[in-house]
């Protein structure tokens, strides 16, 4: 090694030592800076740094390792779950929200007349298995909304415990452990439970939501919406255009108003705060926000809502609203196609939400 190479090596070593010293010396503030930096990167989905991070998360083992770490931390930090959720039962069909990770929900749906069950997005297979055993039910199907690890990471682990159990999901979304690829409007039947898969790309290229037909059992229908729609929110457009996402959101809006909405995350409080920024005079939103504050003060779940409720206060389902257009300062340009204009409204909403900082 020549002298210049030694010099470079020493300089590199000194830089590493300096960084380590600074990290140890200021590790608390460094963590805060790191979190802030990550938040800013994640908020800018069009930026190269984000695209690199997203690719590593979705297409390499690093993403799976990160998910496993998050699961371990959640088990330590929330031994009883991040929220307390009550099951809902309609004529022998029981829907059990399972709080997993730091803010996710898995759902176990049980036909109590035959003790067969379906699970949606089993992010933590250990917790799902515990609920299954408590219910004394046999798992007959795993329904996965999309490939992100916080929804699909438990597929293989749960299937190892139930080897004959099929894993359903989009044929185009690279679902871990997938055995039964689905297309738009395909059906899955288990016991008296009839699910319809609806293709709703935008968050991911193959995102799907699952509609449980309530009419078959004399009950409200239930929509398991993954990361497409939350209470007063929607998922980020990681792998789709605003027009694509708008079409997927319109699929939800077209459902019966009484359809129960079971989202993939507990984001209600933050989402309603953002909704107040863009529609401060929406009294329905304010009433819902006060209820959510009461629920969250006791760590109680805020799901389900209904499609009808969401159409009143969820800005992402209100891209056709003249009041929202005024609040955003956006109006259609001359000869602009109505769908294109609504997609532009959705894009503006999503940009604002991505950069939204919750007030303390």
Beta strands in the chain (DSSP E): 88-90, 93-100, 104-111, 116-120, 138-143, 167-170, 180-182, 187-190, 193-199, 208-212, 222-224, 229-230, 233-234, 260-262, 305-306
Q: How far is CA 155 from the centre of its chain?
A: 16
Select from 98, 119, 103, 105 the least CA-distant residue to 264. Answer: 105
CA distances (Å), origin 257, targets 50, 253, 289, 312, 347: 36, 8, 20, 11, 25
Burial 85-109 (b: 16+ CB within 10 A, else e): beebeeeebbbbbbbbbebbbbbbb
CA–CA separation, 54 and 38 (whole Å): 12
Q: How far apart are CA 13 and CA 145, in angstroms?
A: 46
DSSP state at residue 315:
G
CA atoms within 13 A on the CB side of 115: 7
Is the CB of residue 210 less than 8 Å from the CB of residue 145?
Answer: yes
Active-site residue list: 146, 148, 150-151, 203, 227, 265
Angle at the Cα of 282 (from 276 to 288), degrees rounded to 5?
Answer: 75
DSSP 147: S
Helix (H) or strand (E) holding 230: strand 229-230
């Amino acid at each position: 090694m020549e002298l210049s190479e030694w010099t470079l090596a020493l300089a590199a070593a000194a830089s590493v030592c300096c960084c380590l010293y600074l990290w140890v010396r200021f590790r608390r503030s460094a963590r805060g800076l790191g979190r802030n930096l990550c938040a800013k990167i994640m908020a800018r989905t069009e930026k190269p740094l984000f695209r690199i991070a997203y690719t590593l998360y979705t297409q390499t083992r690093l993403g799976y390792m990160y998910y496993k770490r998050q699961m371990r931390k959640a088990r330590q930090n929330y031994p009883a779950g991040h929220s307390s959720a009550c099951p809902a039962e309609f004529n022998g069909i029981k829907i059990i929200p399972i709080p997993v990770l730091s803010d996710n929900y898995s759902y176990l749906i049980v036909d109590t007349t035959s003790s067969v069950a379906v699970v949606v997005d089993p992010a933590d297979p250990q917790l799902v298995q515990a609920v299954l055993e408590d219910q004394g039910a046999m798992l007959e199907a795993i329904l996965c909304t999309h490939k992100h690890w916080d929804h699909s990471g438990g597929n293989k682990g749960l299937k190892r415990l139930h080897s004959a159990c099929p894993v359903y999901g989009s044929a185009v979304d690279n679902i871990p452990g997938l055995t039964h690829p689905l297309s738009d409007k395909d059906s899955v039947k288990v016991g008296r439970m009839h699910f319809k898969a609806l293709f709703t790309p935008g968050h991911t290229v193959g995102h799907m939501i699952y509609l449980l037909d309530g009419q078959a059992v004399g009950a409200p229908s239930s929509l398991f919406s993954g990361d497409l729609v939350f209470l007063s929110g929607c998922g980020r457009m990681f792998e789709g255009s605003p027009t694509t996402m708008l079409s997927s959101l319109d699929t939800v809006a077209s459902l019966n108003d009484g359809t129960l909405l079971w989202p993939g995350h507990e984001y209600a409080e933050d989402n309603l705060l953002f909704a107040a920024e863009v529609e401060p005079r929406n009294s329905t939103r304010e009433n819902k926000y006060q209820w959510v504050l009461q629920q969250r003060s006791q760590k109680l779940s805020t799901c389900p809502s209904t499609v009808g409720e969401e159409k009143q206060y969820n800005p992402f389902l209100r891209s056709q609203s003249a009041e929202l257009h005024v609040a955003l300062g956006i109006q259609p340009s001359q000869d602009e196609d109505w769908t294109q204009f609504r997609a532009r409204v959705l894009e503006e909403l999503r940009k604002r939400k991505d950069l939204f900082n919750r007030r303390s």
